[in-house]
A and B are shown apart, each in its own frame.
Chain A
């Protein structure tokens, strides 16, 4: 979909090239993150795709077409572009901002109106915000408008330059998750620049790690990079806790869950004791059919029927799509030393430290 071949950029007056000779191929529908230290040319590379910066030499093709063969402003109308400071036109309303490219393309008014309404909803804004001016919105809201604006003409490709960098960490995480969901629904090709390795690994289906001067160190799926860094540089750049980062990418559902020490409330106290013995633990989980009620310490099991006991809450109930990293956190911080997994159908099983560790070494 996007092909860079021996792309080179030397800024006038510079001693070394910003991008030496980069060759990269981004298949259609992929979410590629460009990440690397300051001076690695990731932003320069991004901006050469839509010719905000003109390449010194080399070829860049988008959708099979050489970007140098079209007028820059026409090229850019078919590529979505989101930058860190958003760059919303302050003197235009949210609606007018989003409608910018469709207007440039000459869309009829009702089509534009419908599209704006659709996008506003898609990015999670309220309809009444359409008539507000950017100065009246919060940072997170402005970013959403920026994304909506980039998607307005339905471009196949989206270029994003640290789009979530200017908002506070809590809002950023929300935006990241929502955008990833949005991407899954829309299926666009995204090129995403970030300096944050966590963000790169979390968001990308492929990650390109660049070194200073635009040298491509590794380009692969994030799990692969984390498991097998291609060079000393990549390993150092990924930093410590590579294992934990990988866990952050794996869902709980990929692990083998055990049924664990649980017993149905209809059973008798003696069966509960047997279960605890078998698993060598001093507590037991209580189920009602498929519903997980909680857990009870051994000391509270006497002769009273299990149904009449007051079970304690598990502090964390994991869902199948939660990451193993979250699971590990739950395991380590709980009294029971397990993480229980509950899905829509009910109790699915539990995992402990060994289960999680197995996934890392896989």
Chain B
């Protein structure tokens, strides 16, 4: 099992590793971003009409169960074999279940008496949602985004099958050429990106919730 360091150095210099990183990151960010927007919209519906929670969970659950490759294949007749939409629609679908679940749980998890006191002070429902419930739901929401992001990074490696770039390209080529170094680099970089994004979000959470960092001096 030998690693071709030369290959690594060459590709770093030529920028192909950097380009793959950019592509991979872009796909991840777009998928999670769009996923968040869609999930928020659906979550607002669930919070407003609680009966919709069951059907929404059912649909997003099924989407989640369908294997990623299968989902790609279902989208192929619609968007084509190598379209970015084939990849993105599938990627976004996978984020929905976890994001909706965490957003709804986060908002519902805000203590009732805090909401009642806010209402009693004369805050409008809109203000209560934006100023009280949303900030307090942030830890739960970010937890969901972390899972969604890390899972997406892994799934983006598969999008090479439908013609997208990213680290999956290295893996696929590594397999095709029986070239260990290339496949290994692709895998490790994907893991690295997942870890960096995860830790980055943890940091973001800590910065966004200063009140959760302080505890009562015993």
Q: Is B136 an interface residue (CB 8 A)?
A: yes
Q: How many A-B residue pairs have CB under 8 A?
A: 82
| A75 close to B215 (CB less than 8 A) | no
| B215 close to A135 (CB less than 8 A) | yes
- Bound Cα distance A133, B217 (Å): 12
Interface of B is mostly: helix
Residues 114-159 of B contacting A (Cβ, < 8 Å): 114-124, 127, 132, 135-136
Question: When A76-B120, A104-B123, A149-B121 are in contact, do A87 and B113 touch as well, CB less than 8 Å?
Answer: yes
Q: Is A83 an interface residue (CB 8 A)?
A: yes
Q: Is A299 an interface residue (CB 8 A)?
A: no
Q: Which stretch from A89-97, A117-125, A193-201, A286-294 is at the chain B interface?
A: A89-97
Question: When A83-B116, A137-B216 are in contact, do A100 and B211 touch as well, CB less than 8 Å?
Answer: no
| A138 close to B216 (CB less than 8 A) | yes
| A91 close to B136 (CB less than 8 A) | yes
A101 surroundings in chain B (CB, below 8 A) = 121-122
Q: Is B178 an interface residue (CB 8 A)?
A: no
| A77 close to B216 (CB less than 8 A) | no
A85 surroundings in chain B (CB, below 8 A) = 111, 113
Which chain B residue has the least Cβ–Cβ distance from A133?
B211
| B114 close to A133 (CB less than 8 A) | no
Task: Mark B101-115 against chain A: 1 for CB-CB distance below 8 A, else 0.
Answer: 000000000010111
Q: Is B52 an interface residue (CB 8 A)?
A: no
Chain B interface residue count, CB cutoff 8 Å, equals 25
Which chain A residue has the least Cβ–Cβ distance from B213?
A133
B127 surroundings in chain A (CB, below 8 A) = 104
Task: Mark A173-208 against chain B: 1 for CB-CB distance below 8 A, else 0.
Answer: 000000000000000000000000000000000000
Which chain A residue has the least Cβ–Cβ distance from B216?
A136
| A83 close to B211 (CB less than 8 A) | no
Q: Is A73 an interface residue (CB 8 A)?
A: yes
Chain A interface residue count, CB cutoff 8 Å, equals 33
Q: Is B51 an interface residue (CB 8 A)?
A: no
B120 surroundings in chain A (CB, below 8 A) = 50, 52, 76, 81, 83, 87, 159
- Bound Cα distance A199, B123 (Å): 31
B209 surroundings in chain A (CB, below 8 A) = 91
B114 surroundings in chain A (CB, below 8 A) = 87-90
| B123 close to A73 (CB less than 8 A) | yes
| B216 close to A104 (CB less than 8 A) | no
- Bound Cα distance A78, B121 (Å): 8
- Bound Cα distance A87, B118 (Å): 8
Q: Is B177 an interface residue (CB 8 A)?
A: no
Question: When A100-B121, A101-B121, A104-B123 are in contact, do A90 and B116 touch as well, CB less than 8 Å?
Answer: no
Q: Is A74 an interface residue (CB 8 A)?
A: yes
Q: Among B111, B122, B211, point to the contact of A104 (Cβ < 8 A).
A: B122
Which chain B residue has the least Cβ–Cβ distance from A77?
B122
Q: Among A74, A75, A135, A138, point to the contact of B211 (Cβ < 8 A).
A: A135
Question: When A85-B113, A89-B118 are in contact, do A136 and B123 touch as well, CB less than 8 Å?
Answer: no
Task: Mark B203-218 against chain A: 1 for CB-CB distance below 8 A, else 0.
Answer: 0000001111011110
Residues 109-142 of A contacting B (Cβ, < 8 Å): 132-138
Residues of A within 8 A of B (CB): 50, 52, 72-78, 81, 83-92, 100-101, 104, 132-138, 146, 149, 159
Residues of B within 8 A of A (CB): 111, 113-124, 127, 132, 135-136, 209-212, 214-217
Known: A77-B122, A132-B214, A146-B117. 11 other contacts (CB 8 A): A52-B116, A78-B122, A81-B120, A83-B113, A86-B113, A89-B117, A91-B209, A91-B211, A101-B121, A136-B215, A149-B121
